Amino acid sequence: MPVTGVSGPFPPRFSEVAFVPMIDALRVLAADNPLVAFTTLLLVSLTLPPIFERLRLPGLVGLLLAGVMLGPSGLGLLDADGEIEKFFADVGKVYLMFVAALEIDLKEFSRNRDRSLVFGGLTFIMPLGGGILLGRLTGANWPAAILIGSLLASHTLLAYPIVMRLGTSRDECVTVTVGATIFTDIAALLVLAVCVSVQGGNFSPLGLGVQLAGLGLYAGAVLFGLDWAGKLYFRQTGDEQGNKFLFILLAVFLAAVGAQLIDIDKVVGAFLAGLAVNGVVGDGPVKEKVEFFGSVLFIPFFFVCTGLLLDVPVFLAALTDRLGLTLGLVLTLIGTKFMAAVIAGRWFHYGWLQILTMWSLSLPQVAATLAAALVGLQVGLIDAAVFNAVIVLMLITSLLGSITTSYFARQLPLPPTPVEHSDDPTWDWPAAPPLPNQPFVVVVPIANPLTQRNLIEMAALIARHENGHIVPLTIAPAHVHMDDANLSATLARSHELLQTAQAMSHERGTKAITQIRIDDDVAQGISRTAREQAAQLIVMGWSPTAGLRARLFGTLIDTVFWSTHCPVAVTRLQTAPVEMRRILMPIKMMTPQTVRTLRFAQVFAYTHTATLTLLHVSDRDRPPAEQQAFKRALAALMQEGPAVAHAIKFVRHDDPGAVILKAARYVDLVVLRSMRRRTAGGLAVSNVTHQVLQGLTGSVVLFGEPHS
């Protein structure tokens, strides 16, 4: 019945009669049904991080803010003491520390071990001392003060993708900082374990010694035991990624439970498990899936549940009444990290840009800091005011570290040009040299008659240039019974495809040796055939890379790229290869992988009598002398390969992707390099390459290096 005597379009107290009851109903439903809380966490994790990243803010800020809004200080839909919330807070905290250890590059650490230990010791001890002093000055007892110091002592490599994108990740100052992470994280977690033990009333000199001895034995058992068990299990399971994934999950949570049995916090066990399986997993598809699973589920849930603990009045007090404590934490961290970088940098004879890059990379406090702060709050070592101040510290250092790293790292000189290394065989193409007395072999997997001709033509022309042959390959999915009618039909279609491929290859004057393989796994069938044939190159067509399934399980290309021993040229051709006369290859920096991609582009241009344009888009603040040296190195490099008509273009611009896309309008083919990096995808590329791939409408070849 309509309400009378009201001006305006809505009845009186509209929000109360419509909105409030709905929220109350959701609260009641959420209290009795964990499924509502789980659905809410999924919705928040899916929607908020992309929005905040578009605003140039870290996605974790949006997750924390969502926790505040949905928690007791906001709508009250989620409860920090709820069953599902407590579960995901614990699981996320464990998984966060596990992934932090899994992402540590042990090879880089061993390469610069001594310097990493020196900088790691300095960037741990100095913030630890500063934090202890600050804690005592603000009235904290000794265990709490030591914990505050340990919160400042570790660091998270949040800005590492920035130096990867800028091409300066191989600078020694960066590798030293990366290596220092393993020392600071382990030391900070050991301090946390001792502080928790003291807070529990179990402290005594003898008890401390026993606990440290037990921790040492446990660490050895985890590091060596899981490493041995992992290698043994991985050998037994072969290429079964599902079982490997489950083994890793079991390892991390088993280590976490074991740590609690010896009265050590579970995050210490999780970190040790990450270090233990780091070398076993390697940088392969299983590791990608492990990190992806955490990055889309456990870790976002952890940040949302952490936001539930934020008390808005206390958080505001940290910015007003307790501003001194908050500023003290921030300034102590910035100052002590800077002093550690200066001392270490001067010791190693680094320049100021390298010193400032080390400082900026070691600023962000996220993974170990937040996990340890949450443990400290739960056991009563720190109060809500300190916890909220740590959240402010995390937000400020995340932004400051990213901004300063971007500013200083882009001014570092690029890695040495390949002219100095031209006698190094790792700079030659192909990356996988043929066996003695073996010809150059190109494997061409075919399945689609519509794209078959372009693939065969490209492979045949390259093989002819290298005096080799091609291996057209079809994979027939295996069946339980070899007389299955479906298998027979598949084999018949495969024979037709291969006969056509052989005729096409002969048209180009190239020998073709056809192969049919029956295999349970198409990608592994391709990789194994390439190895059996001693192939130096695989040429294959594009496969879809979008969608949740592709991200979660990977694509055919992803798996081939990870498992093969030789380079892979992934093609998306809009015109026949023989009609391509203008080729564009963007070049960011000089690495062996870049040079091998350039050699591929040279060979392709030579076989097609095409022109090759090398395009380098640089930052506006790059010194002109450095640009000229880079240009001379490119010119010298072109002289070492097949003689093709070429041009070298340098453009100063802030958006490399836009420049490449504009230049691509006037060419027939763009050759891009795939660059491995730690991310949730399989065949990962840089952000610029991803932008170009999304915007390109013409033909493209993505040249990928085998993973080792």
Listed in order, the ranges of the chain carrying CATH 3.40.50.12370 are 416-428+567-708
Q: Is the model more confident about 640 or about 533?
A: 533
Q: What is the pLDDT of residues 200-219, one digit of tens each?
A: 665 566 666 776 777 778 77
Position 421 confidence tier, pLDDT thresholds 50, 70, 90: very low
Mode of pairing for the β-strands spanning 699-704 and 441-445: unpaired
In the predicted structure, residue 159 carries a pLDDT above the cut 80: no
Residue 10, pLDDT score = 43
Q: Please give the pLDDT value at position 555.
A: 65
In sequence order, what are the residues at sequence separation of 6 or more whose Cβ sits closer than 8 angstroms to the Cβ of residue 313? none
State which fold the 432-542 domain adopts: Rossmann fold (3.40.50)
Fold of 416-428+567-708: Rossmann fold (3.40.50)
Residues of the chain with CATH 1.20.1530.20: 96-304+321-409
Q: Do residues 215 and 193 touch, judged by C-beta distance below 8 A?
A: yes
pLDDT, tens digit, 9 for 90 and up, residues 344-364 = 988 988 888 889 988 988 888
User: Looking up tokens 């058992």, which residue turns up?
Assistant: 221
What is the percent of the chain where pLDDT is above 70? 78
Handedness of CA 86, 92, 98, 100 (dihedral sign): negative
Longest dimension (CA), the chain: 98
Q: What is the mean pLDDT of residues 339-343?
A: 92
**Would you say residue 386 has pLDDT above 90?**
no
Torsion region of 315: left, alpha or beta (phi above 0 gives left; psi -120 to 50 gives alpha)? alpha
pLDDT in tens, 647-689: 988 888 877 888 888 888 889 999 988 754 433 333 334 556 6
Element spanning 470, H or E: strand 469-477
The Cα 62–Cα 45 span in angstroms is: 9
Per-residue CA distances from 685 to 347, 546, 598, 672, 692 (Å): 36, 14, 17, 9, 10
Report yes or no: 151 and 131 within 8 Å, Cβ to Cβ.
yes
Confidence grade of residue 437 (pLDDT, cut at 50, 70, 90)? low
Q: How far is CA 23 from the centre of its chain?
A: 38
Q: Which of 621, 190, 194, 699 is nearest to 457 (CA)?
A: 699
Residue whose entry in the numeric block shows the structure tokens 């400290």: 376
Q: How far is CA 323 from the centre of its chain?
A: 35
CA 651 to the chain's CA centroid: 29
Shortest CA distance to 579 belongs to which of 703, 699, 668? Answer: 668
In the Cβ-directed half-sphere of 559, how many Cα atoms lie within 13 Å?
19
* CATH 3.40.50.620 domain range(s) in the chain: 432-542
Residue 655 vs residues 173, 647, 659, 673, 688: alpha-carbon distances, Å: 26, 21, 7, 18, 9
Nearest by Cα to 272 from 341, 356, 359, 185: 185
Whole-prediction pTM value?
0.58
pLDDT band at 342 (very low <50, low <70, confident <90, very high): very high
Is residue 21 over pLDDT 70?
no
State which fold the 96-304+321-409 domain adopts.
Answer: Na+/H+ antiporter like fold (1.20.1530)
